[in-house]
Structure 1
Amino acid sequence: MPPSKLAVATSSVTRLVKEEASYHKELEQQAARIKTLELNKSDENAEYQLKQERQALEETKNVFPTVRTKIQEALKKLEEELEATKAEGGDAATEVTKAKEAIVEGKKALSEVS
């Protein structure tokens, strides 16, 4: 049996929240590498590496608005599917619980400042 629309929408929100979290982690790692390169400029290639790391940092920062928009859209779809499931009187308590948890996590991710 294929997954329900509610399960698919829940998975989508969960995946996007995890994706955003991984970008935050990547941002922290890039900032740490930049700091290390700034402190250790003994390498003749340090300026080039520093420039590359700063560019990568900016590219990562530029991803956040797109990911946030996707999370907002996925949240809206999930909320609609949750309402449709409730209206149909579907007996999928586990799916509804997972959907509600995903909505909370999605809204929490959107409320955090990048």
Structure 2
Amino acid sequence: MAPPSKLVVATSSVLRLVKEEASYHKELEQQEARIKKLESSTGDENAEYQMKQERQALEETKAVLPTVRAKITQALQQLEEQIESNKEAGGEASTDDVVKAKDAVAEGKKALREIS
């Protein structure tokens, strides 16, 4: 089996990063919910330590998001370059790969708009 083309690799990279970004947002929501739950619970002698740990995890997750955004932007740029070079090369990649690549570009741009 032939190795995947650069277009396929760039496409999968964008899709993976979009998924990763979505999972970080989901994790952020879960951490915020755990913090609210800890704030409302009383009587637990370990609550202060748990609260500190949850807040630290929340801050770490928030710190990762700009990095993921930058990676998505870079991967989108590379994918768009691969689409363009495929056109210039006379469409070496299959039509299906090009369609998947264009869909990935749309998903990546949508994710970037949602982050903003």
1:42 offset after TM fit, Å?
Answer: 1.6
Partner of 1:40: 41
Kindly provide the amino acid, as one letter, of the partner of residue 42 in structure 1. G
Equivalent in the alignment of 1:75: 76
2:24 equivalent in structure 1:
23
Residue 89 of structure 1, CA deviation: 1.4
Residue in structure 2 matched with residue 102 of structure 1 by the alignment: 104
Q: Which runs of 4+ in 1 moved over 4 A?
A: none
- In structure 2, what is the equivalent of residue 11 of structure 1? 12
Q: TM-score, normalised by structure 2?
A: 0.95
Q: TM-score, normalised to structure 1's length?
A: 0.97
- Cα RMSD (Å): 1.0
1:11-38: CA deviation from partner (whole Å, max 9, x where unpaired): 0000000000000000000000000000
Runs of at least 5 residues in structure 2 that lack an aligned partner in the other structure: none
- Tell whether the 8 Å contact from 1:30 to 1:57 is kept in structure 2 after alignment: yes
Deviation of 1:41 after TM superposition, in Å, equals 2.4
For 1:49, the equivalent position in structure 2 comes to 50
Report how many residues are paired: 114
Whether the 8 Å contact between 1:41 and 1:47 is mirrored in structure 2 is no
* Structure 1 residues 80-91: aligned runs within 5 Å: 80-90=81-91
The answer on whether the counterparts of 1:17 and 1:105 sit within 8 Å (CA) in structure 2 is yes
For 1:65, the equivalent position in structure 2 comes to 66
- C-alpha distance in structure 1 between counterparts of 2:74 and 2:60, whole Å: 22
Higher mean Cα deviation, 87-96 or 46-55?
87-96
Structure 1 unaligned regions, length at least 5 = none
